[in-house]
Amino acid sequence: MNNLKFIDFCAGIGGGRLAFENLGLECLGFSEIDKNAEKTYKLFYGENEKNYGDLTKINTDELLDFDVMVGGFPCQTFSVIGQRKGMKDERGEIIFHLINIMKKKNVKFFLLENVKGLVNHDKGRSLKIILEALNEAGYHVDWKVLSSINYGVPQMRERIYFMGIRKDLLNDNIKFSFPKNTTQTANVEDFLIDDSDLTFNEKQQAYKTFLKYLNNKYNQNKHLIEKLLESEYLVLDTRQSDLRLYYNRVPTLRLGRHGILYVKNGKFRKLSGYESLLLQGFPKKLAKKAKENIAEAHILRQAGNAMTVNTVQAIAEKMLDFAKNLKIN
């Protein structure tokens, strides 16, 4: 059992928390302002879990002492699907509130996540500002863009991860390294297993919209429905103007727009919230809880906003090895 303790910031539904708990760390609370996400979080981890609420208003003196900060700080301002306001948007400043908390609580480590778009946002200036602020706060930072598809789930989700350690804990002879990619992609058939009636057919208005979509100027005469239905577990992404097809992989799940279909038993099916949670690395027992207690639209939204459990856990394992080599516990 590891003695390190953590608090889950910008927690969403606790993908980061689950990863660290799987490795034996103790969670001392979380911070989340979305009430629907909080409901799911407490469904997963217990009604008595302490939510510190808006992290910009947290009194750090009220926080228990903790060793590791975990968080996926707001990404809409940096994402290619957002308006890319970045540091000009107050949500882009959440990182500075996190830095303030880690300084005041003398946190040993942090693991933070954001969208890949942060790397090039404002020609790299936003990333540079964040790294400089973390350095000035007394932390050494390693960062890397990783894709979830390389860590046990068939989702093509690229995110930037920051692993930081307080500089006074460093040893020049011991270096941190991010986890290596797995050599084999998970089988999508093991994730698209919802037994609910999710058939997508001509009786539905959405299906008629889908037919019009197939006949737009980008897709016209490119795809025959009969041909598409011949490929079992073919995944279709309708969120762009042109139809995107994927084999044994699923495109990035997102917070807002949903348009992922797949073929099973010769029929189109909609990707469900239950399946989305599995694709984010949540176990079946938690996905089942959500399916039975949370509205489908909320699950889809929350899954799209979550941290991938598998990827965070792979990084956290390397972080704990790093801590062990530094004799930190």
| Contact in structure between 25 and 5 (CB atoms under 8 Å) | yes
Tell me which of 4, 13, 70, 75 is the catalytic residue.
75
- How many Å from the N-terminal Cα to the C-terminal Cα in the chain? 10
| Contact in structure between 294 and 39 (CB atoms under 8 Å) | yes
Tell me the pLDDT of the chain (329 aa) as tens digits: 478 999 999 999 999 999 999 999 999 999 999 999 999 999 999 999 999 999 999 999 999 999 999 999 875 555 554 455 555 554 458 898 999 999 999 999 999 999 998 998 888 888 998 999 999 999 999 999 999 999 999 999 999 999 999 999 999 999 999 999 988 889 999 999 998 988 887 888 888 889 999 999 999 999 999 999 999 999 999 988 999 999 999 999 987 656 899 999 999 999 999 999 999 999 999 999 999 999 999 999 999 999 999 999 999 999 999 999 999 97
Report the predicted TM-score, pTM, of the whole model to 2 decimal places. 0.93
CA distances from 202 to 3, 257, 299 (A): 56, 22, 25
Tokens matching residue 133: 């602020």
CA distances from 243 to 201, 260, 262, 272, 281 (A): 18, 10, 12, 19, 26
* 75 assigned to active site: yes
Q: Kindly list the structural domains of the chain, giving each domain's residue range(s) and its CATH number in brackets, ordered by start.
A: 5-181+306-325 (3.40.50.150), 188-303 (no CATH)
